[in-house]
Amino acid sequence: MNPLLEKFKTKYTSSPFSDIKEEHYLPAFQELIKTSEKEINEITSNPETPTFENTIEAMAFSGEQLDRVSSIFFNLNSAETNDEIQKIAQDVSPLLTEFSSKISQNEKLFERIKNVYDQKDTLSLNDEQEMLLNETYKGFVRSGALLNEEDKKKLEKINMDLSVKSLQFGQNALASTNAYFRHITDKEELKGIPEAILQQYEEDAKEKGLEGYVITLQYPSYLPAMTYAENRELRKELALANGKKSFDGGEFDNQNLIKEIVKLRQEKAELLGYKNFADFVLEERMAQSPAKVFEFLNELLDKAKPYAQKEIEELKSLAKADGIDDIQSYDHAFYAEKLRKQKFDIDDEELKPYFQLEKVQEAVFGLGKKLFGLEFTEINNIQKYHEDVKTYEITENGNYKALLYADYHPRKGKRAGAWMTSYKNQYKKDGENSRPHISVVCNFTKPTKDTPSLLTFQEVTTLFHEFGHALHGVLADTQYPNLSGTSVKWDFVELPSQFLENYCYEPEFLKTFARHYQTGEVLPTEKIEKLSQSKSFMEGYQTLRQLGFGLLDMAYHTEVGALENKSVKEFEVDKTAATNLYPANPETAASPSFSHIFQGGYSAGYYSYKWAEVLDADAFQYFKENGIFNPEIAEKYKILLSSGGTKNPMDLYKSFRGTEPKVESLLKRAFG
């Protein structure tokens, strides 16, 4: 029996992880694709006149089990993968792409959709139904429904190739990250690195059957070494290894894949009648056009660059005192930490004992309760995909609201970084409000036998960020699964996550959870005030770094043919020159491991992090002016989150705030 082909008989129909074996996936996908095709055929062969209900709505609810299984499989491919799952992914991705192409190029189906769309003004639809109809029609047109047969076949082939190459890009980046580690036996080489981090390095060495210490390119391992190691040569070596990920000409090199992916995306855009891939993508974003994005990024660049340059001059002075006249990018974290300690008397390692993971999670759960009335209870009757994962039942006024999976520690089969995802979307059908299953995945330092998992302040903000996304999913209250939760315009999706980070800097809130894990002592008031003041520390540098990624992403997707006569490295250096504050290293490049745009969904969309910062700064300013826990404003914000993609995001924002967001809110927060 294949559990993926049965109705899940688990509590809340949660994913039956313990029952799933790897050999179940491929047959399940093959069978469920057939089932979903049959559902589509029933819609197209319906003898009745096409209506919103028998065509648009029927489509929205089709393929539910296929969606569930896809979520399980691809989420595990990110959080708990292995060679076998990666191999299955290579087989499954083309099948799903082919299935998706078949639907988007189904002429009978599109004929019915167009029939309904053409009479939409006479249909008396509500806002959500109208949005579903518009998005469905546009989705088909953007997938090639208006193309001739020959071009449809070309598009299908492009989509298939892109699916395989994007997947390969991600697998290469992960393999390249995992392939490197630095083994150290002489503790003197690690001078400056705090004892708690050294313990972690010892644990990592033991896992590999080695004596001494091991540093990897996983961020909880890599970042502390770059921040605290007095050994400049070690920092240089680690930075070089990190910058060479998938850029060393070896087995996992991604340079050719980048060129192939960019070329295929351009071909796709032209086939669909767009000038370039960014034009194609941005039609469906708040920003709407590459010109507007470039204008936005360059305006911020002009305003932030003087602050960034001033920050680097301060670091140069510190380095000069140590006899370093040629400060490099691999010195940045080390001297930034020194400067931060000097300015604010803040030391990440000194702060970490006050940020025990469990206490930070309690705080973030408490914020969910204070703002939105949510309760979180750990439960042990839900199947998990790894023993590290914890499961929570979320309720509101005693009623079940959502499931939450929390997966916090790094392991070999888990990609780097932090993210929120969903195993099941929310929707309403047959009188039932079917609730979502949400997951938050991070890579925080594991507890050791002596010490619980203690977070850097940056990791605290990371947890709040991902929980902001999670709340977007948890509070979802829409009719249709494809407009639910985080199914919003891409440059709107980071608003809830970045908004929640603001609370980490509020003294009255920090005092409620920043307690020493051994003594229970609250983080001293002067430290809390310094933390709050430090929010804009190195903001110029961080802004330029993000703008560099945004401009690079836009260049890849607007400059047709520019890569043909250039190497990836040359292209990257050229496009990020205005944002670079340190000399470029000829041996490193960011693009070959830039998974956000070459594997994830941020292609021609990386700017949205900064775009959403304008939204979040403006939204939090509204709270600050009226009280950070103001119940009336929280209720309006809850409506914004629960509405998902049912309305135009700018309309949703204006309903919440009363006005459009102002870029001045971000500049005020960042630079005073």
Tokens coding 488: 């919003």
Where does residue 49 rank: exposed (0-12), middle (13-18), buried (19+ CB within 10 A)?
exposed
Q: Taking the alpha carbons of 45, 49, 50, 51 in that order, is the dihedral positive or negative?
A: negative
Tokens coding 445: 């330092």
CA pair distance 647, 363, nearest whole angstrom: 31
Amino acid at 155: L
Q: What angle do CA 353, 500, 531 make, to 5 degrees?
A: 40
Q: Which of 430, 438, 362 has the alpha carbon at shortest distance from 401?
A: 438
Residue 85 sits at φ, ψ, to 5 deg, of: -65, -40
CA pair distance 175, 180, nearest whole angstrom: 9
Q: In what order do the strands lie in the sheet with 390-396?
A: 374-379, 390-396, 399-407, 437-441, 419-424
**CA 400 to the chain's CA centroid:** 26
Annotation says 22 is catalytic: no
Helices 290-321 and 663-671: crossing angle in degrees, nearest 10, is 0
CA pair distance 428, 474, nearest whole angstrom: 14
E-strand ranges in 509-640 read none
Contacts of 158 (CB under 8 A, 6+ apart): 264, 267, 268, 271
Task: Reduce the DSSP state of residue 374 to 3 states and report it.
Answer: strand
Q: Which of 64, 32, 59 has the alpha carbon at shortest distance from 43?
A: 59
Q: Are strands 181-184 and 427-429 parallel, antiparallel or unpaired?
A: unpaired
DSSP state of 275: S
**Percentage helix, strand, coil, to 5, in the chain?**
60, 10, 30
Choosing from 311, 393, 459, 466, the catalytic residue is 466
Is residue 628 within 8 Å of residue 503, measured between CB atoms?
yes
Task: Reduce the DSSP state of residue 230 to 3 states and report it.
Answer: coil
Is residue 601 within 8 Å of residue 490, measured between CB atoms?
yes
10 Å Cβ neighbour count for 631? Answer: 11
CA pair distance 386, 371, nearest whole angstrom: 31
What is the set of active-site residues? Answer: 466
